[in-house]
Amino acid sequence: MVEIIIIFALSAAVCALAAKLFILKRRIYSVSKQLDDDNNSLITIQLGDDELETVVRKINLMIESDHEVMLEISKEQAALKQAIADISHDIRTPLTSIVGYLQLAQRAAENEEQRANIDVALERARYCSALVNDFFELSVIDANGCEPVMEKVDVNDLICELILANYPNFETKGITPHFEAGGNPMYAQADRKMLTRVLQNLISNGIKYGGGGIEFQLSSEEAVHIFVSNSIGNQEIDTERLFDKFYRANRARTADGAGIGLYICKQLVQAMGGSISANVNDGRLTIAISIKPFHDER
């Protein structure tokens, strides 16, 4: 009889221990699942195990500390971006004045040597002005994001306008633009200023880095597709990183800019709900933009 009681007691103790282990395992699993969440919220646990509660309490202290650190970092980054925007804005005005005065000096130059020296200074001033403008736009985008004003935009007409506006630059560089504009408009749902900024940037890159001709193509299926391509010769370009911030194909050529322009293009296109990509084939770089077509809801 005593043996039966002992066996019964041991069985009860084993069952109680198994139940406790099962509950503990469930609680540990719950803690693990909460740690896997990306929201970094505090860990919650049912009462009942002092040691596990102590561990969870320490984990929560670490999470709170991480929250405070991340908040401080976020504030510092926002302050830095705003400072860059302010500095860029403050530099733009005197640089514009410098370019203007150099243009006046260029007209008043008395001989070719003076004119040549002023031309070099004017070119560098314009480069600095363009670089500051890019940094200003980058800082504004990073700090405040992009808020597009969507409207009906005739992409066909816009490309024609930009080709005409850039024709003197095409002639100076000996570049021939190719664009077979169709007779019918091709409307996209886009922010006209943003799309103009994107296309102008691609044209400027084609003039600055490309050779031969620059080609524009349009197609419209489920989206409005814009293709801008130019020759890059044997230059190696990492198309996977081309739209990364500060990426330059040739880092030794500092005069080529800071690698901001295409990053800005990507941000603007994505803000309009579109996509942008690049590929290289037979020595030509092609940038492809896809934007939603305009649909008249009436």
Asked whether the beta carbons of 235 and 249 are under 8 A apart, the reply is yes
For residue 133, which amino acid is it?
Answer: N
Asked whether the beta carbons of 188 and 155 are under 8 A apart, the reply is yes
- pLDDT (tens digit, 9 = 90+) per residue, 102-147? 888 888 888 888 888 888 888 888 888 877 777 777 777 776 667 8
pLDDT, greater one: 164 or 43: 164
User: Please, what is the average pLDDT of the chain?
Assistant: 78
- pLDDT (tens digit, 9 = 90+) per residue, 17-32? 676 666 666 666 666 6
User: Which one, of 266, 200, 208, lies nearest residue 232 by Cα?
Assistant: 208
Show the DSSP H helices in the chain as ranges. 2-36, 50-108, 112-144, 155-165, 167-173, 192-209, 261-271
Q: Judging by beta carbons within 10 Å of its beta carbon (0-12, 13-18, 19+), is residue 171 exposed, middle or buried?
A: exposed
Q: Does the global pTM surpass 0.75?
A: no
Please, which residues have CB within 8 angstroms of residue 216's CB and are 6 or more apart in sequence?
159, 163, 177, 178, 179, 226, 227, 228
Which domains are seen in the chain, by residue range? 40-145 (1.10.287), 151-291 (3.30.565.10)
pLDDT band at residue 274 using 50, 70 and 90 as cut-offs: very high
Top mean pLDDT of 129-133, 152-156, 204-208 is at 152-156
The average pLDDT across 278-294 equals 87
pLDDT, greater one: 34 or 221: 221
The average pLDDT across 245-273 equals 75
pLDDT > 50? residue 282: yes
Look-up of token digits 């009906």: 152
| pLDDT in the model for residue 252 | 46
- pLDDT (tens digit, 9 = 90+) per residue, 227-243? 888 877 777 778 788 88
